[in-house]
Amino acid sequence: MAQAKKTLPVPAPLGDDAVREEFPRDWTDIRGHTSIIRRLRALAAAEHLPHALLLSGMEGIGKRRTARVLARTLLCERAGDAPCGHCDACRTMAAGVHPDYFETAPEARGKSAAMIRTEAVRDILIAASGAPVAGRRRIILIDGADAMNETAANRLLKTIEEPMGEVLFLLVTSAYDAILPTIRSRAVRIAFGTLTRAEIEAALRERGTENAATIAALADGSLGRAYALAAEGLQLRDEALALLVQLPKLRVEDIWAHAETIGTRTHAERTAWIGFLQMALRDLLVLHENGAAELCHTDRREELAALLPQLTRADLFTLMEEARQLSQRFAANVNPALQTEAFLLRARHNMTSSLPSAFPA
Which residues contact Zn ion (rule: CB under 5 A)?
Answer: 76, 84, 87, 90
In the complex with Zn ion, the residue whose CB is nearer, 84 or 202, is: 84
In the complex with Zn ion, the residue whose CB is nearer, 90 or 287, is: 90
CB of 76 to Zn ion, least distance (A): 3
In the complex with Zn ion, the residue whose CB is nearer, 137 or 329, is: 137
In the complex with Zn ion, the residue whose CB is nearer, 76 or 160, is: 76
CB of 39 to Zn ion, least distance (A): 21
CB of 90 to Zn ion, least distance (A): 3
The residues facing 113 across adjacent strands are 107
In the complex with Zn ion, the residue whose CB is nearer, 133 or 358, is: 133
CB of 99 to Zn ion, least distance (A): 15
CB of 77 to Zn ion, least distance (A): 5
237 with 283: CB under 8 angstroms? no
Give 1-5 contacts, CB < 8 A, sequence gap 24+. 1/96, 2/96, 3/68, 3/93, 3/96, 3/101, 3/103, 4/96, 4/97, 4/98, 4/101, 4/102, 4/103, 5/97, 5/99, 5/102
In the complex with Zn ion, the residue whose CB is nearer, 84 or 320, is: 84
> Residue 24: which residues within 8 A CB-CB, separation 6 or more?
30, 65, 68, 69, 72
Strand order of the sheet with strand 167-173? Answer: 101-104, 138-143, 167-173, 52-56, 188-191
Buried-exposed string 16-49: b where 16+ CB fall within 10 A, e elsewhere? beebebebbbebeebbbbeebbeebbebbeeeeb
CB of 167 to Zn ion, least distance (A): 20
